[in-house]
């Protein structure tokens, strides 16, 4: 194919309708027909990236192979497509304006007045097309964050209008995701909010070719005809997106509705291949028909917003399906676990989650101690590994004041410390150890057996490290540091010698778990929890 086609996914009526899931589901269906795709997210907020945002504000910060701190929707893109995303797949208003201002300061605009149109919109168009420049992809799907009508979204909508005009017929289309609310008092679905949403979009010069309608109830022909008439779309382009038990059922539902078929027709692309969804459907079938249930305690301090741990939750789903178990996640607030052992009983495994700052730390340490002393399968991720090292240092090495320099800069025993190149940093955003780093595993370690190899690469997002001065004492007493970064010598993994399954990793394995390739660490952890349950 000579030229890349572009699909834009906008949202109306309400936020949180699932634009990312619809974009990923359509991409999955087109990928299953042999097309090469990628998805990008345009976020209208002025932050440069989500790296400095509180998880309660924005949910999880997802990290790509090349070290970009991005929106959690990129996690969905990777999990559905099994294709890595990059810096180019997430763009924010902050990045757009920063780049335009940098150009103005350099004199790139030759003294012209810098304006939203054309300078900001040109920058947005450039960022949209960057993924299609080398013809690596047949189709680029661009999800535009926010809701149509939001003041901060206007430059993006204008950029899409211009691009549609510039690219010409059959080279770009707009899919508008909207809500069809059900009024229980009247016992009917209402189309008026969708009509207003499309009208708002049309006022900006864009007429969507496809409507995807989120609904709790089936949409009948009368409603489809009404939406088609008043929203200026074909009836076949009114797609129902009914609530599903799992996001992984959505591609199948979209296939039944013909979303991929109408998309190919609108883009003038071949529709002569039946989507190959055999592996996907195998996974969904296993997910629906799990024969057992296990309970995993997730210990964290952002548990009131489950999106804060989105990739971990999805990794549990992947690993659970392939272990024929349904994983029930028991949310444990780490600020409520100290001196409260009863909260950990009846669990088949414990995961101490990533995080930053000293709040809830003692509760995480208490969770580690329970898992270690009661032989409960344990996985510590990032800060979870660090808590495991602190707990072991305090209760086994008898270093009562062992701590992390993050929590206590003056601790007598800084078993977790700050790397030299991190000590003088003044800026917080984008300055951690980020993205893919190599790790060499000891040949006979539990981790090497889990991975089936000794050389691995995993994604990082952290600032503090295990202090190598304490490694010898840790290992003498049974905490083995079995994984190291070959360039820096920094500890990447720990495991306990006399425990059936106790592992901590400095990296984030959850970022690399997908439907097609569940992460081996999660597969092994859930398998161990299943055995413990019996």
Q: Is 140 helix (H, G, I), strand (E, B) or coil?
A: strand
Contacts of 245 (CB under 8 A, 6+ apart): 288
Question: Does 382 qualify as catalytic in the annotation?
Answer: yes
Instruction: Tell me the average pLDDT across 40-69.
Output: 82
- What are the residues facing 444 on neighbouring strands? none
Q: Which pLDDT band, with edges at 50, 70 and 90, does 406 fall under?
A: confident
Whether the predicted pLDDT of 288 surpasses 90: yes
Q: In terms of C-beta density within 10 A (0-12 exposed, 13-18 middle, 19 or more buried), how is residue 388 classed?
A: buried
Residue of 413, 460, 508, 519 marked active site:
508
Question: Has 158 been labeled as part of a binding site?
Answer: no
Alpha helices in 354-485 (DSSP H): 361-373, 383-395, 446-451, 471-476
What pLDDT is recorded for position 425?
44
Is 349 annotated in a binding site? The answer is no
Which DSSP state fits 119?
I
**Is 386 labeled as ligand-binding?**
yes
Nearest 5°: CA angle at 442, between 492 and 64? Answer: 35
pLDDT at 116 over 60: yes
Q: What are phi and psi of 370, to 5 degrees?
A: -65, -45
Taking only the tens place, the pLDDT of each residue in 134-178 is 888 999 999 999 899 899 999 999 999 999 999 999 999 999 999
**Annotated binding-site residue? 86:** no
Confidence of residue 432 (pLDDT cuts 50, 70, 90): low
Provide, rounded to the nearest whole percent, the portion of the chain with pLDDT above 70: 95
Catalytic residue (choose from 382, 462, 492, 519): 382
Query: Whose CA is closest to 145, among 136, 137, 154?
Result: 154
Mean pLDDT confidence for 188-195: 92
Q: What does the mean pLDDT of the chain come to?
A: 91
Contact, 211 vs 239, CB < 8 A? yes
Can you count the helices (H) and strands (E) in the chain? 17, 23
CA–CA gap between residue 180 and residue 158 (Å, rounded): 26
Q: What is the pLDDT of residue 433?
A: 77
- pLDDT tens by residue, 230-263: 999 999 999 999 999 999 999 999 999 999 999 9
150 is an annotated ligand-binding site residue: yes
Relative orientation angle of helices 19-31 and 259-266, to the nearest 10 degrees: 80
- Provide the pLDDT for residue 431: 57
Report which of residues 433 and 214 the model is more confident about: 214
The whole model's pTM is what? 0.90
């Amino acid at each position: 194919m000579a030229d890349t086609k572009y699909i834009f996914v906008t949202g109306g009526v309400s936020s949180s309708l699932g634009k990312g899931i619809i974009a990923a589901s359509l991409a999955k269906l087109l990928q299953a027909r042999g097309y090469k795709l990628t998805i990008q997210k345009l976020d209208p907020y002025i932050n440069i990236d989500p790296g400095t945002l509180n998880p309660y504000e924005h949910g999880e910060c997802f990290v790509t192979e090349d070290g970009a701190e991005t929106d959690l929707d990129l996690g969905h893109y990777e999990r559905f497509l099994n294709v890595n995303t990059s810096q180019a797949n997430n763009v924010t208003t902050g990045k757009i304006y920063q780049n335009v201002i940098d150009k103005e300061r350099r004199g790139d605009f030759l003294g012209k007045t810098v304006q939203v149109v054309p300078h900001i919109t040109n920058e947005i168009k450039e960022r949209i097309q960057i993924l299609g420049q080398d013809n690596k992809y047949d189709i680029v799907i661009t999800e535009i964050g926010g809701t149509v009508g939001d003041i901060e979204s206007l430059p993006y909508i204008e950029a899409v209008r211009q691009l549609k005009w510039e690219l010409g017929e059959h080279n770009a289309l707009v899919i508008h995701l909207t809500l069809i609310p059900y009024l229980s008092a009247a016992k009917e679905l209402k189309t008026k909010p969708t009509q207003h949403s499309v009208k708002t979009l049309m006022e900006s010069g864009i007429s969507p070719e496809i409507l995807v309608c989120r609904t709790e109830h089936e949409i009948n022909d009368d409603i489809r005809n009404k939406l088609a008439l008043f929203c200026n779309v074909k009836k076949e382009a009114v797609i129902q997106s009914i609530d599903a038990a799992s996001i992984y059922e959505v591609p199948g539902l979209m296939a039944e509705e013909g979303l991929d078929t109408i998309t190919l027709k609108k883009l003038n692309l071949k529709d002569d291949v039946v989507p190959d969804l055999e592996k996907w459907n195998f996974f969904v079938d296993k997910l629906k028909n799990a024969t057992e249930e296990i309970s995993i305690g997730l210990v964290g301090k952002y548990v009131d917003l489950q999106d804060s741990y989105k990739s971990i939750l999805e990794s549990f789903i992947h690993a659970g399906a392939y272990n024929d178990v349904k994983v029930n996640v028991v949310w444990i607030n780490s600020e409520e676990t100290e001196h409260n052992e009863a909260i950990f009983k009846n669990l088949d495994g414990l995961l101490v989650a990533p995080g930053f700052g000293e709040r809830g730390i003692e509760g995480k340490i208490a969770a580690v101690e329970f898992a270690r002393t009661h032989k409960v399968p344990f996985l510590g991720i990032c800060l979870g590994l660090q808590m495991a090292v602190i707990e072991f240092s305090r209760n086994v090495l008898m270093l009562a004041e062992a701590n992390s320099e993050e929590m206590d800069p003056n601790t007598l025993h800084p078993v977790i410390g700050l790397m030299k190149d991190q000590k003088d940093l003044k800026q917080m955003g984008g300055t951690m150890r980020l993205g893919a780093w190599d790790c060499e595993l000891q040949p006979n370690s539990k981790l090497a057996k889990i991975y089936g190899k000794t050389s691995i690469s995993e994604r990082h997002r952290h600032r503090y490290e295990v202090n190598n001065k304490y490694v010898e004492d840790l290992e003498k007493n049974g905490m083995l540091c079995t994984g190291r970064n070959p360039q820096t010598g920094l500890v990447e993994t720990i495991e306990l010698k006399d425990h059936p399954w106790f592992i901590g990793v400095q990296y984030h394995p959850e970022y690399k778990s997908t439907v097609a390739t569940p992460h081996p660490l999660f597969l092994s952890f859930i398998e161990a929890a299943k055995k413990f349950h019996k």
